[in-house]
Structure 1
Amino acid sequence: MRAVASGDRTAFRHLYDATQAKLYGVVLRILRERASAEDALQEIYVRIWDKAADFDPGKASAMTWMATIARNRAIDILRSARTAIGASEQDIEDLPAETAEPLQERHRSEELRRLLACLAGLDEERRQMILLAYYRGTTREALSRRFERPVPTVKTLLHRGLAQLRECLGHG
């Protein structure tokens, strides 16, 4: 990252080659349109180039820092277009954060196994709602239409389902 900050285009090219697939995935997950994600990715790498000197390895890994830039830019794009897609501000704020800490991979896989076991303990409808809402980013309004339930009921089911998961995972 220091080389990129000093204007080294070769270092930037290597950085791009090593990270573009991951950052594209972050952006695509939020924007859900390939063309929009590709356009956003170009803007994101311009920001990374411009702000490389601001990177602090004491605060986060380079990947986490870049994923945060990508996520924030994708959310900004989504916010500017939210009226066109019908998403509320709360739905956008509720988008899950991306993390990219390879050293924590083992810990995450153990947590994932525990989470999957806890998800299996939920009834099918609640499990599907939680996965759609927090993994796919589906809005509460879209869940309401899909499950033919009022939005307040969907919110209650999600809240209770998350409480069950927290309890199962020993976090509540």
Structure 2
Amino acid sequence: MKYSEKELVLALIDNNPRAYTYLYSNYSNSLQIIISRIIKDSEHVSDLLQDVFIKVFGKIKNYNSVKGSLYTWMAQIARNTAIDFYRKHSKNVFFTLDTDHHGNDSKMWVFQNHDGADIEEHIDKLMPERKVMIEMVYLEGFTYKEAAEEMEIPIGTAKSRARRALRSLKNVYDYRAKVA
């Protein structure tokens, strides 16, 4: 059976087993890609994907179509789950330039193997608008679009602020690596 998004949500709320199967079959690959962009270990990715679906099934009554599509809502859950796992299990801090969860912009790895407290100290020294953007997009899991709307600025400005902030942070660590 094929569902419209509205029908699927209603069927999930009614605990329809076919709806659960349909949801997993149609969205698991996309959500797995989102998780694997943050977590590289395939075993952890598989476990986190299951966690995401448990959260989706448990929170489906909270889904609000006015705020975005079902996929967008699930993608945010996947991203947040992966980020939370990463923070909990690693002292490594990384950021990517990734305009949206569909990967429409090139990714650039900026930091790896740095103590999180050290990076937070440098984030605090950024210009206020850049600091807020880094926190929203990379630490709180907002998309650029969501962050731009929240800050009431154009999406291009949001992306520019994030890139400039990342470059500033990268320069600090590049300089420290040369001095060390």
Tell me the amino acid that sits aligned with residue 99 of structure 1. H
Equivalent of 1:42 in 35, 45, 50: 50
Other-structure match for 2:27: 19
Percent pairwise identity? 24
Shift of 1:157: 8.7
Give yes or no for contact 1:68–1:98 (8 Å, CA) kept in 2.
no
- The 3 A distance-change label for structure 1 pair 157 and 8 is closer
Shift of 1:96: 4.1
Equivalent of 1:55 in 51, 63, 85: 63
After superposition, give the CA deviation of every residue in 1:111-156 in whole Å (9 maximum; x if it has no partner).
x6xxxxxxxxxxxxxxxxxx5xxx15452568xxxxxxxxxxxx99
Give 1 or 2: higher helix fraction: 1
Unaligned 5+ segments in structure 1 are 101-107, 113-130, 143-154, 162-172
- The 3 A distance-change label for structure 1 pair 157 and 41 is closer
Shift of 1:82: 1.7
Distance across 1 between alignment mates of 2:45 and 2:61: 25
Distance across 1 between alignment mates of 2:85 and 2:101: 20
Distance across 1 between alignment mates of 2:99 and 2:77: 11
Shift of 1:7: 0.9
Give yes or no for contact 2:35–2:79 (8 Å, CA) kept in 1.
yes
TM-score w.r.t. length of structure 1: 0.56
Unaligned 5+ segments in structure 2 are 1-8, 115-163, 171-180
Distance across 2 between alignment mates of 1:156 and 1:60: 28
Tell me the amino acid that sits aligned with residue 21 of structure 1. N
Q: CA RMSD in A?
A: 3.0
Tell me the amino acid that sits aligned with residue 111 of structure 2. T
- The 3 A distance-change label for structure 1 pair 58 and 78 is same
- The 3 A distance-change label for structure 1 pair 97 and 68 is farther
Shift of 1:98: 4.0
Q: How is 1:60-99 mapped onto 2 (pairs within 5 angstroms)?
A: 60-83=68-91, 87-88=92-93, 91=94, 96=98, 98-99=100-101
Which has the higher relative contact order, 1 or 2, with Cα contacts under 8 A spaced 6 or more apart? Answer: 1
The number of aligned residues is 112
After superposition, give the CA deviation of every residue in 1:50-104 in whole Å (9 maximum; x if it has no partner).
0011111110100000000000000000000122xxx13xx36x6746435xxxx
